[in-house]
């Protein structure tokens, strides 16, 4: 499977160089930053009901209520979601990423095989299933006319171009690395691992994230992982040598032994 993923990655990068990146840069050049931000806010606002539903499935009614509050404020005061009013005072309701794949991970469902797919990019079996359900749920949750292909297709194109603009610097830096495929894989799996950990109140994303896709970073002031969470090896970061007939399954690594703790200082006796 790794050989297939690497070939797909190579093809996608060539398509990005010739088609996607030029279109994204044209999109950035034609539309001013405030207009792009408004479109981004509008599309994100439409996902809020699905985000809230998944918080309910995770037994987090407080987060679900805050998310629905964001949706109500931005859909009205924020002019149909074009302006993210809810994240500012006096509301202080930040945007939070969530979806079915996070819910599955929260309850211990494994990632499954890793894929790099055209039109999708890096993903796992769990994330692919979650993404499909989430995208199907958004039009159903909001209703017509969002169920029409005349909305769905342009919305997905705009989101893809905007994501490409947002991650341009990170993508270029990644391509200049020694092994872009493996680095992209590690970035994606690490970000997804930390997102699931954050649902349990652990790790650097516990206070939220900024950024897009695999290039997520903790919000300002978020603490770094400490204690066992920082010391334990990340199962998603284990690279398994693969052949063309072997699936890249993410296996857990052995847990390191605990660090010795001294309960008192040693006493040195003087030599008589």
DSSP string for residues in 42-110: HHHHHTHHHHHHHHHHTT-HHHHHHHHHHHHHHHHTTTTTTS--TTSTTT--------HHHHHHHTT--
> Distance of alpha carbon 156 from its chain centroid, rounded?
17
Per-residue pLDDT at 207: 77
Domain-located, residue 89: yes
Number of domains the chain contains: 1
Per-residue pLDDT at 125: 97
Per-residue pLDDT at 264: 41
Domain-located, residue 260: no
Q: Which residues does the chain have with pLDDT short of 50?
A: 224-247, 249, 251-255, 259-272
Domain-located, residue 183: no
Per-residue pLDDT at 218: 82
Domain-located, residue 199: no
Written as six digits, the tokens of 16 are 């990005």
Q: What is the pTM of this model?
A: 0.77
Domain-located, residue 195: no
Per-residue pLDDT at 84: 97
Domain-located, residue 49: yes
Q: At a CB cut-off of 8 Å and minimum separation 6, what does 10 contact?
A: 181
- Count H helices, E strands: the chain? 11, 4
Per-residue pLDDT at 222: 54
Domain-located, residue 263: no
**Residue 109: which domain range?**
2-178
Neighbours of 114 (CB within 10 A): 23
pLDDT digits (tens, 9 = 90+) for 69-87: 999 999 999 999 999 999 9
Phi and psi at residue 100, to the nearest 5°? -65, -35
Domain-located, residue 144: yes
């Amino acid at each position: 499977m790794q050989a297939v993923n690497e070939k797909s990655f190579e093809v996608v990068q060539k398509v990005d160089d010739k088609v996607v990146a030029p279109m994204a840069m044209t999109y950035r050049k034609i539309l001013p930053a405030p207009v792009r931000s408004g479109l981004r806010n509008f599309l994100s606002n439409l996902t809020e009901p699905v985000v809230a539903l998944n918080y309910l499935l995770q037994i987090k009614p407080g987060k679900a209520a805050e998310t629905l509050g964001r949706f109500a404020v931005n859909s009205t005061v924020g002019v149909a979601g074009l302006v993210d009013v809810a994240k500012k005072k006096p509301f202080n309701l930040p945007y939070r990423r969530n979806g079915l794949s996070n819910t599955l991970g929260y309850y211990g469902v494994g990632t499954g095989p890793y894929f790099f797919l055209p039109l999708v990019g890096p993903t796992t079996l769990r994330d692919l299933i979650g993404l499909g359900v989430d995208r199907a749920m958004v039009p159903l949750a909001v209703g017509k006319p969002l169920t029409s292909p005349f909305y769905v297709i342009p919305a997905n194109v705009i989101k893809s171009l905007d994501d490409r603009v947002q991650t341009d610097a990170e993508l270029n830096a990644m391509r200049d690395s020694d092994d872009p495929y493996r680095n992209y894989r590690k970035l994606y799996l690490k970000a997804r691992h930390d997102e699931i950990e954050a649902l349990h109140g652990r790790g650097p994303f516990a206070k939220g994230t900024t950024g897009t896709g695999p290039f997520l970073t903790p919000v300002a002031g978020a603490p770094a992982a400490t204690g066992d969470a920082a010391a334990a090896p990340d199962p998603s970061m284990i690279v398994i040598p693969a052949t063309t007939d072997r699936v890249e399954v993410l296996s857990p690594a052995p847990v390191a032994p605990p660090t010795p703790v001294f309960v008192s200082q040693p006493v040195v006796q003087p030599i008589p």
